[in-house]
Structure 1
Amino acid sequence: MSAPPLDWGRLLAAQLEYYWDTHLWPRLNGLTDDEYFWEPVPGCWSVRAGADGRFRPDGVTTRKSPAPVTTIAWRMMHIAVGCFVIRTATFFPGPSDPADADMFDPRHVPGDLPHTAKAGAAFLHDSYRQWHAHIAALDDEAMRTPLGPKGAYFSADPMAALIVHVNRETMHHGGEIGVLRDLYRARG
Structure 2
Amino acid sequence: MTTAELNWGRLLVAQLEFYWDMHLRPRLNGLTDEEYCWEPVAGCWSVRAATDGRFRIDGPAAQADPPPVTTIAWRMMHIAVGCFAIRSSAFFGDGSVPDDADMFDPRHEPADLPSTAAGGVAFLEDAYRQWHGHISTLGETAMRTPLGPKGAYFSAEPMAALIVHINRETMHHGGEIGVLRDLYRATGATTRDSRLTVSA
Structure 2 residue 44 is matched with structure 1 residue 44: yes
TM-score of the superposition, structure 1-length normalised?
0.97
- Aligned partner letter, 1:41: V
Q: Which residue of 2 aligns with 1:139?
A: 139
Structure 2 residue 156 is matched with structure 1 residue 172: no
List 4+ stretches of structure 1 deviating above 6 A: none
- Aligned partner letter, 2:125: H
Deviation of 1:4 after TM superposition, in Å, equals 5.7
* Counterpart Cα distance in 2 of 1:60 and 1:181: 26
CA deviations over 1:121-180 (Å, ceiling 9, x no partner)? 000000000000110110000000000000000000000000000000000000000000
Q: Which residue of 2 aligns with 1:59?
A: 59
Aligned length: 188
**Would you say the 8 A contact 1:12–1:163 is kept in 2?**
yes
Q: Which residue of 2 aligns with 1:158?
A: 158
| Residues 72-83 of structure 1 mapped to structure 2, 5 A cutoff | 72-83=72-83
Q: Which residue of 2 aligns with 1:123?
A: 123
| Compared CA separation, residues 187 and 100, structure 1 to 2 (3 A) | same
Deviation of 1:9 after TM superposition, in Å, equals 1.2
| Compared CA separation, residues 2 and 36, structure 1 to 2 (3 A) | closer
**Would you say the 8 A contact 1:90–1:103 is kept in 2?**
yes
Helix, strand or coil at the partner of 1:88: helix
Which blocks of at least 5 consecutive residues in structure 2 are unaligned? 189-200
More deviation in 4-13 or 121-130?
4-13
Helix, strand or coil at the partner of 2:69: coil
Deviation of 1:66 after TM superposition, in Å, equals 1.5
* Counterpart Cα distance in 2 of 1:47 and 1:142: 35
- Aligned partner letter, 1:166: I
* Counterpart Cα distance in 2 of 1:97 and 1:79: 20
Helix, strand or coil at the partner of 2:5: coil
Q: Which residue of 2 aligns with 1:106?
A: 106
**Would you say the 8 A contact 1:9–1:139 is kept in 2?**
yes
* Counterpart Cα distance in 2 of 1:2 and 1:91: 32
Deviation of 1:97 after TM superposition, in Å, equals 2.8
* Counterpart Cα distance in 1 of 2:30 and 2:95: 35
CA deviations over 1:86-122 (Å, ceiling 9, x no partner)? 0000010113232221000000011110111000000
Helix, strand or coil at the partner of 2:43: coil
Structure 2 residue 90 is matched with structure 1 residue 90: yes
More deviation in 1-10 or 111-120?
1-10
Helix, strand or coil at the partner of 2:152: helix
**Would you say the 8 A contact 1:46–1:57 is kept in 2?**
yes
Q: Which residue of 2 aligns with 1:187?
A: 187
